[in-house]
A and B are shown apart, each in its own frame.
Chain A
């Protein structure tokens, strides 16, 4: 009978994640006991959640020779979600293949890493080097052992690995099961188990999205409802005992309004997995410690006959049971007379609790000359943990014939029945197919085959680079300047012309302003003459200021006019007669002052000045006929 719990959500709590975020920095050697002429793998693994790896420093490999090392660390990233946030766990692995230079215990010092300003160090690793290698003792057959509740009563989480002692690289399937004794409506994972030093593959739990599927189980004389909540396939990456941390979850009943009631936290026990180093006895040359499992290997080529310049694809497929994703397939070197491109690698994992599937490597090869090429068999050395032996699987060698002509028939996959050859292909030129100068049509000679492969045209080697200004222009910020300049210039032209027109007009206000300025200057000069006791220059200035103001007001010069002519002009322009008389009287007074300086007392000059100023203002305000006439 299956019961489905509603609202099941698998999400770690912040607290549990914070625990999981503590970085782990470990180092291991595989195997830890080697002979002097044997190589071993030293791996440094850094696992952290959050932060940036600032630097890494490899340990001092004193007394060791570095045979190979990965140029960059391999990296894994695991993401989980909880509390509305993403939690990302990174795992970096640096891998070195080392060979000891002396017998005895060789100690590899700590590797260092800097993570968000924190300095991390691994522990030292000791490798025992002997004159001859010896295989470690084989483990006893593993039986299904489980973690479980501390007490039989109540609800609990139980961890159940299918085995606790395995070889490095061998799969351990670990399941976490929820045991409950009464109805629970809600399940939430608070913290996933901490799993270090394992390559991890999540295994699917059927119908997990719909909720937990419960079945009944008797344990300790009591009936429990049991549901799997987490299942993982683990592959130990280094020998030694490794503890899988506890998993924590919360279960609760839900009331009518959906609120959690009677919630309970459950936690699994930690479990220790012991990883045994791979035996050194019988280890084939070229064995990679990542290749643990049972595999078969096959190689095919998509055409047995190909023309020069036409590509063929060599497909290498390794299928079997084991950590397929981490499998290190054999590599293909470029055969003589061929161009080899970077391979395309793909992995397919079959569904099931035991990890199996296929890793496919596809090489694209381009023949450059005519001949027959035999690609040697691919070899894969793997350790089978079930039989506890090393096995070397081989593919069949491949034979490819390269011709010079076009329109070559495309055949199916081809393989030669011959036995394994060398790792690198061999090319034998076809008889009569080699090009010889002057051979074409030569009597008695073989015809010259001038092979012209599908190629690209040569580069454009101009002395200087020709740029595409148009394409660059519209992406450039200057383009906006090009677009903006004409309308801005147009607006400026319009504004300037309007301003000039406006400034060119002789309006009454402008005229008045001009007269006032002139009058101020003249009156100032007259006042200065008055203050200095110079009556003649004073009257000259007064006469000038009166006439100038009239000239401006009438729009014509009045300087040379006689008094009667001026009177006639003023009256003609509608100047009031009284004002006209006052103006003429003042002008006559100025004439009198100029030509008979003693006729007026000096203290009367101030009164003349005041009257003249008042008259000028009155004249300015008095409207005249033909005002606009220049």
Chain B
């Protein structure tokens, strides 16, 4: 019995350590310093310095809706509406209940539409699996999976020590929790698939979509800042994108911000 407890304790310790390590990939002091520097620059109207500071944090792999929100605001003040929309979209995706992010996103989109608007004829909705995967924020999906998964294994461990009716109940509970964890895991796997291809936002005011992954190919059509496109594949520094109506083409990777 002592051995079982020790193994379960060791597993819990490992999981906790992993969670802590995953949560803080970048040095907190450097991140907070850049965060403060960006906010100070924004308030004194130096939006270029604010963008530089926020982008520095972004490059360190920090995922934060506040970071994306402020970065979007700084881009907006610079007049980079495509990048502002992209950042506000990222903030809203992380925190769908963030009213500020949704408001600013709408403002940026409204202003971008004044410049130019892409009307997609015959546009269709996203496939069902994409809508299912993106129905919940990624953090909710992650925590749901982790909680269900660990609970299922806790039930399995407890079942080994139990006997009689509790043992049966714990077995059934472990099965139900495992099934739920599997469903949450599938959502996460879909999310990871979307991360690899997924969606992007057109960043420049106007971008020429080529027939192939080279600037010398003929321009098929043009897109404007803020349009959401699906990313299909990558060839060197080119991305193949597809619109909601099935039209597709190639753009430079730097012209599309991944969501």
Give residues in A with beta carbon < 8 Å to B. Answer: 77-79, 86, 88, 310-311, 313, 339, 341-342, 344, 346, 362, 364, 366, 454-476, 478-479, 481-483, 485-490, 492-493, 496-497, 500
B220 located at the interface, meaning its Cβ lies under 8 Å from any Cβ of chain A in the complex = no
| CB contact between A474 and one of B28, B64, B138 (< 8 Å): that residue | B138
CB-based contact B22/A77 at 8 Å? no
Q: Write out the residue numbers on chain A whose beta carbons fall within 8 Å of the beta carbon of B66.
A: 460, 462, 465-466
Q: Write out the residue numbers on chain A whose beta carbons fall within 8 Å of the beta carbon of B111.
A: 311, 366, 454
CB-based contact A467/B22 at 8 Å? no
Nearest residue, chain A, Cβ from B150 = A486
8 A-B residue pairs with CB within 8 Å: A364-B114, A465-B31, A468-B63, A469-B22, A471-B138, A471-B139, A472-B25, A493-B4
CB-based contact B11/A476 at 8 Å? no
Q: How far is the CA of A461 from the CA of B67 in the complex (A)?
A: 10
Q: How far is the CA of A478 from the CA of B7 in the complex (A)?
A: 19
Q: Write out the residue numbers on chain B whose beta carbons fall within 8 Å of the beta carbon of A471.
A: 63, 94, 137-139, 142
Q: How far is the CA of A462 from the CA of B65 in the complex (A)?
A: 12
Q: How far is the CA of A482 from the CA of B21 in the complex (A)?
A: 11
- Taking the closest CB of chain A, its distance from the CB of B207, in whole angstroms, is 11
CB-based contact A342/B79 at 8 Å? yes
Q: Write out the residue numbers on chain A whose beta carbons fall within 8 Å of the beta carbon of B132.
A: none
CB-based contact A490/B3 at 8 Å? no
Is the contact region of chain A dominated by helix, strand, or loop, or is it mixed?
A: mixed
Q: Which of B10, B11, B39 has the most CB of A within 10 A?
A: B11
Q: Write out the residue numbers on chain A whose beta carbons fall within 8 Å of the beta carbon of B96.
A: none
- Taking the closest CB of chain B, its distance from the CB of A621, in whole angstroms, is 37
- Taking the closest CB of chain A, its distance from the CB of B175, in whole angstroms, is 15
Q: Which 5 A-B pairs have the closest CB atoms?
A: A470-B139, A489-B11, A486-B153, A476-B22, A79-B216
CB-based contact A475/B107 at 8 Å? no
Q: Write out the residue numbers on chain B whose beta carbons fall within 8 Å of the beta carbon of A79.
A: 214-216
Using a CB-CB cutoff of 8 Å, which residues 50-79 of chain B contact chain A? 57, 61-67, 69-70, 73-74, 76, 79
Digitize B188-201: 1 where CB-to-A-CB distance is under 8 Å, 0 elsewhere. Answer: 10011001000000
CB-based contact A470/B110 at 8 Å? no
CB-based contact B103/A482 at 8 Å? no
Q: How far is the CA of A472 from the CA of B32 in the complex (A)?
A: 17
Given contacts A311-B111, A346-B206, contact A461 B39 (CB under 8 A): yes
Beyond known contacts A79-B214, A344-B206, A364-B114: 11 more, CB 8 A cutoff? A78-B216, A346-B222, A457-B73, A457-B100, A467-B24, A468-B65, A469-B19, A482-B22, A483-B149, A486-B149, A489-B14
CB-based contact B216/A473 at 8 Å? no
CB-based contact B195/A492 at 8 Å? no
Given contacts A473-B23, A475-B195, A493-B3, contact A455 B107 (CB under 8 A): yes
Q: Write out the residue numbers on chain B whose beta carbons fall within 8 Å of the beta carbon of A481.
A: 14-15, 18
- Taking the closest CB of chain B, its distance from the CB of A369, in whole angstroms, is 17
Nearest residue, chain B, Cβ from A343 = B205
Digitize B9-43: 1 where CB-to-A-CB distance is under 8 Å, 0 elsewhere. Answer: 01100110011011111001001100110010011
Q: How far is the CA of A463 from the CA of B222 in the complex (A)?
A: 42
Q: How far is the CA of A481 from the CA of B15 in the complex (A)?
A: 7
CB-based contact B205/A344 at 8 Å? yes
Q: Write out the residue numbers on chain A whose beta carbons fall within 8 Å of the beta carbon of B7.
A: 489-490, 492-493, 496
Q: Write out the residue numbers on chain A whose beta carbons fall within 8 Å of the beta carbon of B231.
A: none
| CB contact between A457 and one of B24, B25, B79, B104 (< 8 Å): that residue | B104
Q: How far is the CA of A479 from the CA of B107 in the complex (A)?
A: 37
Digitize B131-149: 1 where CB-to-A-CB distance is under 8 Å, 0 elsewhere. Answer: 0000001111111011001
| CB contact between A468 and one of B64, B110, B206 (< 8 Å): that residue | B64
B156 located at the interface, meaning its Cβ lies under 8 Å from any Cβ of chain A in the complex = yes
Given contacts A79-B216, A344-B205, A456-B107, contact A468 B153 (CB under 8 A): no
Q: Write out the residue numbers on chain A whose beta carbons fall within 8 Å of the beta carbon of B116.
A: 344, 362
Count chain B residues whose beta carbon lies closer than 8 angstroms to a beta carbon of A: 75
CB-based contact A482/B153 at 8 Å? no
Q: Write out the residue numbers on chain A whose beta carbons fall within 8 Å of the beta carbon of B22.
A: 469, 472-473, 476, 478-479, 482
Q: Write out the residue numbers on chain A whose beta carbons fall within 8 Å of the beta carbon of B63.
A: 467-468, 471-472, 475
Q: How far is the CA of A492 from the CA of B66 in the complex (A)?
A: 42
Q: Write out the residue numbers on chain A whose beta carbons fall within 8 Å of the beta carbon of B32.
A: 463-465
Q: Which of A346, A366, A485 has the most CB of B within 10 A?
A: A485
| CB contact between B39 and one of A342, A459, A493 (< 8 Å): that residue | A459
- Taking the closest CB of chain A, its distance from the CB of B9, in whole angstroms, is 9
Q: How far is the CA of A395 from the CA of B73 in the complex (A)?
A: 36
- Taking the closest CB of chain B, its distance from the CB of A360, in whole angstroms, is 11
| CB contact between A485 and one of B15, B23, B143 (< 8 Å): that residue | B15
- Taking the closest CB of chain B, its distance from the CB of A319, in whole angstroms, is 19
Q: How far is the CA of A615 from the CA of B143 in the complex (A)?
A: 70
Nearest residue, chain B, Cβ from A494 = B160
Q: Write out the residue numbers on chain A whose beta carbons fall within 8 Å of the beta carbon of B57.
A: 465
- Taking the closest CB of chain B, its distance from the CB of A538, in whole angstroms, is 46
Q: Write out the residue numbers on chain A whose beta carbons fall within 8 Å of the beta carbon of B36.
A: 463
- Taking the closest CB of chain B, its distance from the CB of A402, in whole angstroms, is 15
Given contacts A457-B103, A465-B67, A487-B153, contact A474 B192 (CB under 8 A): yes
CB-based contact A460/B70 at 8 Å? yes
CB-based contact A474/B191 at 8 Å? yes
Given contacts A341-B79, A341-B115, A486-B153, contact A474 B142 (CB under 8 A): yes
CB-based contact A77/B216 at 8 Å? yes
CB-based contact A482/B115 at 8 Å? no
Nearest residue, chain B, Cβ from A454 = B107
- Taking the closest CB of chain A, its distance from the CB of B115, in whole angstroms, is 5
Q: Write out the residue numbers on chain B whose beta carbons fall within 8 Å of the beta carbon of A88.
A: 216
CB-based contact A473/B107 at 8 Å? no
| CB contact between A470 and one of B81, B142, B156, B216 (< 8 Å): that residue | B142
B243 located at the interface, meaning its Cβ lies under 8 Å from any Cβ of chain A in the complex = no
Q: How far is the CA of A534 from the CA of B7 in the complex (A)?
A: 55
Q: How far is the CA of A465 from the CA of B60 in the complex (A)?
A: 13
Q: How far is the CA of A135 from the CA of B76 in the complex (A)?
A: 50
Q: How far is the CA of A493 from the CA of B11 in the complex (A)?
A: 11
B232 located at the interface, meaning its Cβ lies under 8 Å from any Cβ of chain A in the complex = no
Q: Which of A364, A470, A490, A496 has the most CB of B within 10 A?
A: A470
Q: Write out the residue numbers on chain B whose beta carbons fall within 8 Å of the beta carbon of A469.
A: 19, 22-23, 139
| CB contact between A482 and one of B18, B25, B73 (< 8 Å): that residue | B18
| CB contact between A472 and one of B4, B61, B73, B153 (< 8 Å): that residue | B61
| CB contact between B146 and one of A311, A467, A473, A490 (< 8 Å): that residue | A473
CB-based contact A493/B160 at 8 Å? yes
CB-based contact A476/B70 at 8 Å? no
CB-based contact B188/A474 at 8 Å? yes
Q: Write out the residue numbers on chain A whose beta carbons fall within 8 Å of the beta carbon of B4.
A: 493, 496-497
Using a CB-CB cutoff of 8 Å, which residues 92-108 of chain B contact chain A? 94-95, 100, 103-104, 107-108
Q: Write out the residue numbers on chain A whose beta carbons fall within 8 Å of the beta carbon of B153.
A: 486-487, 489-490
Nearest residue, chain A, Cβ from B217 = A79
Q: How far is the CA of A492 from the CA of B18 in the complex (A)?
A: 19
Q: Write out the residue numbers on chain B whose beta carbons fall within 8 Å of the beta carbon of A464.
A: 28, 32, 35
